[in-house]
Structure 1
Amino acid sequence: MSTTKLIYLVFISVLCFSSCKKEDYPEFQTWVPYDETGLIEANADKESQRLRYKLIQSKVSDRNDILNTIIPQLEGFSKERYLELSPLIIDQDIETLQNHISEDLFSYKELTQWYLYRIAQFESNRDLALNAIISINPFVAEQAEKLDAETPSKTHPVYGMPIILKDNINTQNMATTAGAVALLNNETENDAEIVKNLKSFGGLVLGKANLSEWANFLCAGCPNGYSAIGGQTLNPYGPREFDTGGSSSGSAVAVAANYAVAAVGSETSGSILSPSSQQSAVGLKPTIGILSQDGIVPISGTLDTPGPITKNLQDNSIVFSAMASAKSKISPSKVPWEIEIIKNLKGVRLGAYKAYSQDSLYQNAIDDLKTLGAEIIEIDPEPMDFEGFTELLSGDMKIDLEKYLTLYASDEVEIKTAYDVMKFNLKDSTVRIPYGQARFEGIEDLDLTEDELVDIRTKLLLAGIDYFEKPMQTHNLDAIISINNYNAGQAAAAKYPALTVPMGYTSEGEPEGLTFITKPYQESDVYSYAKLYEAASKQRKSPELYLN
């Protein structure tokens, strides 16, 4: 155990004893593991393999650790104050929250405490827990209080906003586990580059979100949103009924359930787009290279990127701007938080997939875009050749994970390579890898030379670009519109940005997203297109079970 963590645990014990006690919050339930056999059996016949669970609760973590980190930070905050502030905070955008704070309706500390209270309220409730959170920043309320005292010239709207990070992103005061037992004690010394950027503008790290373990590069065909550390993340629009998508499952769930103002995810191929669309959130997978990969547990340095997940477009652009680094190809000054306002979409040409025409929500979105003035051109591109894609990910992870473990991992982490992880997991496969580790086995079985890996990278990049460029050039398109993460693989290979926006709900109530894909460094354009669509369609609504 690190010295910092030991000091904090002593601090927690003293503070809990002297002031803020569990008895002060009887609405928070002490977590006692329950028999989940019936719930698992009820899902055994689900059509989707992704919903056939072997576990829901983590066998590694004690959920009371989250509660015990939250309660000392709630001193001076009550259930009555939570209920009083709820209409002012639930589903409100960053601009509105900042205005409320300027009007002295609440402080940054109270905003932070409201989210902490909400997480404790739901995540300690067996019937409502979503398993979205792995850890909480033990100093976040104190950090928010300092921001209240500073009264600075707020140069960026992310100032004082509590944000949740996917638990493969390094930050101080919390371990970075990637959901894996092998990284349980990975308390890194420094923040990831994007976290440094967020903090430099006054953004607050509220906690770490659950995820598909190792960013969905562990098991094959297993449920999205499962990790040994966090358990099975559940979709708030239909717990155990709808897939969460992955791998940034907890980040998107946290946004949907109003556990934070915003969240940060990461994507290699669909890992922001998939959970964002499944949780009726706005998710951006930016052009590779705009946001730093430094300090993030990798799959592929070729394709990985972090990105923001929010409830609306304006907040998304704000968080994207705050994450941007001066070292990137686009400087922060060229990643503005103000989305360019355009009156309509006249002159904008969008490609729509013929193959998706039977999806009524997609068709409704096309009609809305036409009403806004967009010209919709039906496209039916030739299928992309994905040969070598899995080998690329395996080859990159073999190299990039070893680099991460060498450069960033805590001294308490004993694994040094992907092979070490595989051996570690086999020591207790029931707890550590209940769904197996087929993808890690694929890493070890891979036999590629460096030149062969370079050739695969080049081939896939050209194939991805060709997939989009042929229809875009033929029809002079500004962007292509898709559904959810349906074309995330092609966008990943091409390194093209993609932005998903709530598109509505199926007859069963499952969310779907309208996804805009465009050429590199055109994020500002698709933000403008999508913002008009968002305003015209008004599709997003909060999950009913989590409105209070």
Structure 2
Amino acid sequence: MEETYKRIKGMRLLALAVLAMSFWSCKQQASSESDVVLWTPYNDSTEVAANQDHENSRMRYKLIQSKVLDKNDVFRPLYEEVSAVTNEDYEKLKSLILKQDILGLQAAVASGNLTYEEIVLFYLKRIYSYELDNSTTLNTVIALNEKVVEEARLRDKERREGNHPIYGMPVLLKDNIGTEGMNTTAGALIFQENSAPDAFIVRQLKARGALILGKVNLSEWAYYLCDGCPVGYSAYGGQTLNPYGRRVFETGGSSSGSGTSMAAHYAVAAVGTETSGSILSPSSQNSVVGLKPTIGLLSRSGIVPISSTLDTPGPMTRNITDNAILLDAMMGKDPEDKSSVGKDFGKEWYKGLSYNELKGKRFGVFSNLMEGDSIYRQTVEMIRREGSEIIVIDPPRVPLDGFLSILNLDMKEDLPAYIAQNINNKEAIRVKTVADIMKYNLQDSLTRIPYGQGRFEAVVSDSTSAEELQTIKKKLEEDTRAFFNTAMDTHDLHAILSINNYHAAYAAAAKYPALTVPMGYKLSGEPISLTFIGKQFEEPKLLRLGAAYEKVSKVRKTPENYK
């Protein structure tokens, strides 16, 4: 790859001259790089109209394209760097990068067949190719790190033995995670100039040498703004689309951009956040691996919150090994997060995951899912054939009374605390409370809240007392843990198997980890995933089980139009 690397370096100026003919539906040339038009807005009314009869009411969109985000502002700064990658270079890099996990990429770098700069440029080329074409855009990448190529070159110069595997790997972040040099919008227009500092997990990633490639779209305010609205929509970023079926399948939310970007191979890894299902859902809908960790394993400091009780960031990747590596890279004790535990799973615990077997493992499976979902049933039978013991369970019904009050009351307190502690430019962002944001939104409801703000209204109006809230939290945690523990302890289970985010609220209230892994595709082509649920801080066990399942299932496919 040394020859390819030199060619990339040498062709930047030439590529600028021929960009209009060879580069992604660029509409016009300009006299200087600062004026180059890489993207032109389009009329999305035909697409919106085509979705008005969609069987899923949440996919009857009011708009797809953002009304405020100019993609030229996002993509111009790295234009020269990316335009130097020829199609021939890209195809060579693709053969070395596309199907590799992190350990494979690191081996290629160590052998001299790849550089970190080439890895970054490969993913940027893909992002530019698909996201600047209105017929393929997923409205996923809404900010790029303008220094990422320069930083990759520095990683190449400073590479040495003993670095964490995340070193030099380009990572995308959900846009509610604080990142210096890129605004942290949470998808909301009031936060479009929120220049917040690095979140704790971002500092951890950078300390281990990761490259922050950019920020991705999300369901606005982590899907705690509007009722019954499309997942993956934000006023700032527009409507995120699913690469397995644009405007056909939901993206899942709220970490919609993290899921879609992984499915389309826009980076090595992505970080999402979850309160209840916001990692599990988009991971499942986009056929990628998503881990919702135990509350406290990863810090929440510097992340725009819903609930300090239930929020957590988590890794989203295309395979188990990468998921474990990204998780490890973000871990650490954070004194600013009262729930942070500083758990240590041991040195390089993430290695050797592919050697795990299903033989001798004991899994609990839900009776109603066995009866109602053929893919789940077939998957369970495959796991049984691999030597696992399957125990059909029918847990008692556990009402989740008061669950939304946890979110309402926490957000009412936690969002103002975030604003006070993290927003640097308070002159531009003149709000302090959820009620203030609601008033701001009402000044231009068509642009700022086209689907309303029903959940914000519930936050403001929830009259649950502090004493009642503590009672709700305690009861829900006890009841949901019993929901899982009764079966786990009675039958000595290694894990309970669910589908997608079906039991996300139970795992959330119990503060238990959940790992979702691609399970297959429905007849329509929509992805579906198998979800492993365990007890607190059993992430290594879940990842070992997921790796054993991944090894025998081998079902994940790259979306047809994003290969």
TM-score range with shorter-chain normalisation? Answer: over 0.9
**Which deviates more, 72-81 or 464-473?**
72-81
Counterpart pick for 2:229 among 203, 218, 222: 222
User: How far off its partner does 1:47 sit?
Assistant: 1.3
Residue 407 of structure 2 corresponds to which residue in structure 1?
393
Instruction: Supply the distance in 1 between the matched residues of 2:68 and 2:384 (Cα, whole angstroms).
Output: 51
Counterpart pick for 2:499 among 453, 471, 483: 483
Structure 1 counterpart of 2:436, one-letter code = D
Paired residues in the alignment total 530
1:476-521 deviation digits (Å, cap 9, x = unpaired): 2221000000000100010010000000000111100000001001
Counterpart pick for 1:504 among 517, 520, 526: 520
Structure 2 counterpart of 1:486, one-letter code = Y
Counterpart pick for 2:368 among 348, 351, 355: 355
Instruction: Supply the distance in 1 between the matched residues of 2:311 and 2:180 (Cα, whole angstroms).
Output: 22
**Which deviates more, 253-262 or 462-471?**
462-471
Q: How does 1:31-180 map to 2 (within 5 A)?
A: 31-74=39-82, 76-180=84-188
Secondary structure of the corresponding residue to residue 73 of structure 1? helix
Q: 1:515 to 1:339 in 2, by over 3 A?
A: farther
Residue 6 of structure 1 corresponds to which residue in structure 2?
none
Q: Do 1:20 and 1:74's aligned partners in 2 also have CA atoms closer than 8 Å?
A: no
Instruction: Supply the distance in 2 between the matched residues of 1:235 and 1:405 (Cα, whole angstroms).
Output: 32
Secondary structure of the corresponding residue to residue 125 of structure 2? helix
Q: Do 1:267 and 1:306's aligned partners in 2 also have CA atoms closer than 8 Å?
A: yes
Instruction: Supply the distance in 2 between the matched residues of 1:454 and 1:243 (Cα, whole angstroms).
Output: 35
Secondary structure of the corresponding residue to residue 127 of structure 1? coil
Residue 338 of structure 1 corresponds to which residue in structure 2?
351
Counterpart pick for 2:341 among 329, 349, 363: 329
Secondary structure of the corresponding residue to residue 194 of structure 2? coil
Instruction: Supply the distance in 1 between the matched residues of 2:479 and 2:266 (Cα, whole angstroms).
Output: 40
Q: Do 2:354 and 2:551's aligned partners in 1 also have CA atoms closer than 8 Å?
A: no
Q: Do 1:234 and 1:240's aligned partners in 2 also have CA atoms closer than 8 Å?
A: yes
Residue 186 of structure 1 corresponds to which residue in structure 2?
194
**Superposition RMSD in Å:** 1.7
Q: Do 2:23 and 2:83's aligned partners in 1 also have CA atoms closer than 8 Å?
A: no
Structure 1 spans left out of the alignment, 5+ residues: 1-16
Instruction: Supply the distance in 1 between the matched residues of 2:179 and 2:132 (Cα, whole angstroms).
Output: 24
Instruction: Supply the distance in 2 between the matched residues of 1:282 and 1:344 (Cα, whole angstroms).
Output: 18
Q: Do 1:22 and 1:71's aligned partners in 2 also have CA atoms closer than 8 Å?
A: no
Secondary structure of the corresponding residue to residue 207 of structure 1? strand
Q: How does 1:220-259 map to 2 (within 5 A)?
A: 220-259=227-266
Secondary structure of the corresponding residue to residue 128 of structure 2? helix
User: How far off its partner does 1:342 sit?
Assistant: 5.4
Residue 29 of structure 2 corresponds to which residue in structure 1?
none
Q: Do 1:502 and 1:513's aligned partners in 2 also have CA atoms closer than 8 Å?
A: yes
Q: How does 1:252-267 map to 2 (within 5 A)?
A: 252-267=259-274
Residue 421 of structure 2 corresponds to which residue in structure 1?
407
Q: Does 1:24 align with 2:36?
A: no
Secondary structure of the corresponding residue to residue 90 of structure 2? helix
Instruction: Supply the distance in 1 between the matched residues of 2:355 and 2:264 (Cα, whole angstroms).
Output: 31
Instruction: Supply the distance in 2 between the matched residues of 1:314 and 1:77 (Cα, whole angstroms).
Output: 29
Residue 528 of structure 1 corresponds to which residue in structure 2?
544
Secondary structure of the corresponding residue to residue 469 of structure 2? helix
1:331-352 deviation digits (Å, cap 9, x = unpaired): 3453732255655334321110
Q: Does 1:381 align with 2:381?
A: no
Q: Do 2:367 and 2:393's aligned partners in 1 also have CA atoms closer than 8 Å?
A: yes
Question: Normalised by the size of structure 1, how large is the TM-score?
Answer: 0.94
1:353-409 deviation digits (Å, cap 9, x = unpaired): 111113121112101211221111111112221111111101000000011000001
Instruction: Supply the distance in 2 between the matched residues of 1:333 and 1:207 (Cα, whole angstroms).
Output: 29
Q: Do 1:70 and 1:117's aligned partners in 2 also have CA atoms closer than 8 Å?
A: no
User: How far off its partner does 1:23 sit?
Assistant: 5.3
Secondary structure of the corresponding residue to residue 470 of structure 1? helix
1:229-249 deviation digits (Å, cap 9, x = unpaired): 111000000110011100000
Q: Do 1:70 and 1:120's aligned partners in 2 also have CA atoms closer than 8 Å?
A: no
User: How far off its partner does 1:75 sit?
Assistant: 6.6
Instruction: Supply the distance in 2 between the matched residues of 1:154 and 1:231 (Cα, whole angstroms).
Output: 42
Q: 1:343 to 1:450 in 2, by over 3 A?
A: closer
1:63-113 deviation digits (Å, cap 9, x = unpaired): 112221331433743333112211211132111111222222221111111
Secondary structure of the corresponding residue to residue 112 of structure 2? coil
Residue 5 of structure 1 corresponds to which residue in structure 2?
none
User: How far off its partner does 1:147 sit?
Assistant: 0.5
Q: Does 1:272 align with 2:284?
A: no
Q: 1:349 to 1:54 in 2, by over 3 A?
A: same
Structure 2 spans left out of the alignment, 5+ residues: 1-11, 27-37, 335-339
Q: Do 1:291 and 1:306's aligned partners in 2 also have CA atoms closer than 8 Å?
A: yes
Q: 1:515 to 1:107 in 2, by over 3 A?
A: same
Secondary structure of the corresponding residue to residue 442 of structure 1? helix
Residue 201 of structure 1 corresponds to which residue in structure 2?
208
**Which deviates more, 487-496 or 100-109?**
100-109
Instruction: Supply the distance in 2 between the matched residues of 1:497 and 1:339 (Cα, whole angstroms).
Output: 21
Instruction: Supply the distance in 1 between the matched residues of 2:92 and 2:539 (Cα, whole angstroms).
Output: 38
Instruction: Supply the distance in 1 between the matched residues of 2:261 and 2:315 (Cα, whole angstroms).
Output: 12
User: How far off its partner does 1:170 sit?
Assistant: 0.4
Secondary structure of the corresponding residue to residue 499 of structure 1? strand
Counterpart pick for 1:452 among 442, 463, 468: 468
Q: Does 1:366 align with 2:361?
A: no
Q: Do 2:16 and 2:83's aligned partners in 1 also have CA atoms closer than 8 Å?
A: no
Q: Do 1:350 and 1:480's aligned partners in 2 also have CA atoms closer than 8 Å?
A: yes
Instruction: Supply the distance in 1 between the matched residues of 2:119 and 2:466 (Cα, whole angstroms).
Output: 50
Instruction: Supply the distance in 2 between the matched residues of 1:62 and 1:230 (Cα, whole angstroms).
Output: 10
1:100-136 deviation digits (Å, cap 9, x = unpaired): 2222222111111111111111001011000011100
Instruction: Supply the distance in 2 between the matched residues of 1:459 and 1:415 (Cα, whole angstroms).
Output: 34
Residue 326 of structure 2 corresponds to which residue in structure 1?
319
Secondary structure of the corresponding residue to residue 59 of structure 1? coil
Q: 1:330 to 1:377 in 2, by over 3 A?
A: farther
Residue 300 of structure 2 corresponds to which residue in structure 1?
293
Q: 1:209 to 1:22 in 2, by over 3 A?
A: farther
**Which deviates more, 467-476 or 304-313?**
467-476
Instruction: Supply the distance in 1 between the matched residues of 2:530 and 2:561 (Cα, whole angstroms).
Output: 24
Q: Do 1:340 and 1:524's aligned partners in 2 also have CA atoms closer than 8 Å?
A: no
Structure 1 counterpart of 2:392, one-letter code = E
